[in-house]
Structures are given as structure tokens and as C-alpha cells.
Amino acid sequence: MAKASTAEFGVDAALDAAIAAAAGHVRGARHVVALTGAGLSVESGIPPFRGPGGLWTRYGEPPMDGYQRFLRDPRAAWQERLHPKAAWARALREALAAAKPNAGHLALAELERLGCCAALITQNVDDLHRQAGSRNLLEIHGNHRLLRCVECTARFAPEQIAVDPDDLPPRCPRCDGIVKDDTVHFGEPIPPDVLRRCYEEVGRADCMLVVGTSATVYPAAEFPLEMVRRGGCLIEINPDDTELTPAASLSLRGPGGDILERLLQHAVQAPEGSTR
């Protein structure tokens, strides 16, 4: 194995010092909220949407009125869900089926167990935070494994709803509303129950860990800025600059899994309240 040069060592030492400082903030904050995006699941084999290798970069953005199309013809939308024709949807489905939580998902779940992450808001629909053990989890764009009634917003596991390909769309057993997948489509309002809880958590946050998001999709992109306006500490983990970078107190440059694992190690070692 090649030895790291002095310059590389210097870069890593600086990054490690920044990670240690971030861990101190996380230990010292009253209410830490994490916000994650597709970049966190790249190390689990799921492509992001934008940038190199992104689904929209490779296949182009899908129509921006996906929800309106669903409502116009829920039967056709269900047929597409059961047998996707769109290349991006097939690629995403295959990646989701194979993915397992990575070190970043596991570190965030552990930070929650340690009392260092009060809530986790994710834009990801991949279920990996649940599988990693995060409990106070707000899936703002839904969860690809679940189904949701468009009328009463009740969520169902797939085995709770009989999907008959000859009688689509399935109906809600509670209110007879149309059932769709829980994933939020383009043009679809964020379900009000999860959005309200996001605002509650963001309103209490004095420190936010923002990992693997380009911060281009609202309302999630607004959450860190809202906290910064109140004087909170924004820690960004991303290999690249984003719209949020100018507002960040600390920018930790690198892959989310590696950086979060190191942040967890420092947080375990740091004395509680070390920055207060």
C-alpha cells in the first residue's frame, strides 16, 4: 500500500480536526437535527439524482407533474409502478432492492442512541435509515416500501393492501380513498403530518448535520437556512460545495459514510457539553 505523502497527511489532519470540532458541536448542542439526501446512500450503491452518475444526469428529469398524472390516471400509474418502463425507474428499483445501510446510516442511528441526534429528516425514500435503526425519522419524501392513501394519508405496509393487477388502483381499507405509493411524486404536496413534524424539529434545532444533499429541493433545502438565521450551527458533510456551503459553520469534505463514522468516534470520546 502506498504511504500518504506529508501533504496528504496534512489535508487529512486538517479534516480530522474539523471532524473533531463538529463532534464537539454535536455533543454540546441542545437539539441536533440531521438532514440527509441521496449522497448518503451513494456508498450503499444507490445513484444520486444530480451530478456525476446522477439519475437525472443520465436519463433526464422525469415530467414535473407526476402527481397530477397519477390523479388523472391512477390505473396507468400503478401499471408503471408494477412494471416500470422508464429507464431511470428501472435503475432505481434495482439499486433499491440491493442496497444495505452503510457506515453513515449506522453512525446516525448510533448518534441518536447516544442522545446526540434528536431527529433525522431524510429526503431519501430508500428505507436505509429505518434498517440502520434510526427511530425519530421523518421521511419527508416518503418511503418506497410503503403505500399511502391520498385521502386520509394512512400508511400501509405492502402486505396490508391487496394489489389486484386487474382492479387498479387499490383502495384504502379505512376510507376507500385511492392508494398510491408513499414516495412523494413531482408536483405532490409533502404529506402534512410529516411536514408539521419537520417544522417542529427544525424550530427546536440549534445544530444541524446536513449530509449528502445538493439542497436544491424545497422545503427541505430551507430547513438549515432557517436554523442558521436563528444562530444555529450548520455542519455540512459533502464531497462538493452546495448552495448551503456559504452558510455552514463547518464544511466536512468527503463521503458521508467515512466522515460520519469518524464524527461518531470523536463524539464518543468527547466530554459531554465540550463546546459549551
Residues 170-189 that bind ligand OAD (CB under 6 A): 184
Q: Which is nearer to ligand OAD, 241 or 272 (CB)?
A: 241
Question: How far is it, in rounded angstroms, from Cα 137 to Cα 183?
Answer: 15
Q: Which is nearer to ligand OAD, 28 or 49 (CB)?
A: 49
| Cα angle, residue 49 at apex, residues 44 and 50 outer, rounded to 5° | 120
Q: Which is nearer to ligand OAD, 27 or 141 (CB)?
A: 141
Q: State phi, psi for 251 to the nearest 5 degrees.
A: -115, 115
Residues 4-43 that bind ligand OAD (CB under 6 A): 37-40, 42-43
* Number of residues forming the site for ligand OAD (CB under 6 A): 25
Return the beta strands (E) in the chain as ranges: 32-36, 119-122, 137-139, 147-149, 155-156, 179-181, 207-211, 233-237, 250-252
- Residue closest to ligand OAD (Cβ): 39
**Minimum separation from the CB atom of position 254 to ligand OAD (A):** 7
Report if residue 106 touches ligand OAD, rule: CB under 6 A.
no
Report if residue 49 touches ligand OAD, rule: CB under 6 A.
yes
Question: How far is it, in rounded angstroms, from Cα 75 to Cα 163?
Answer: 11
Q: Which is nearer to ligand OAD, 184 or 205 (CB)?
A: 184
Helix segments in 99-229, DSSP class H: 103-113, 128-132, 192-204, 222-229
State the catalytic residues. Answer: 141
Tally of CB atoms within 10 A around 6: 8
Among residues 147, 224, 256, 270, the one that binds ligand OAD under rule CB under 6 A: 256
Sign of CA dihedral 200, 202, 207, 213: positive
Can you give the binding site for ligand OAD, defined by CB under 6 A?
A: 37-40, 42-43, 48-51, 54, 123, 141, 184, 212-214, 216-217, 238-240, 242, 255-256
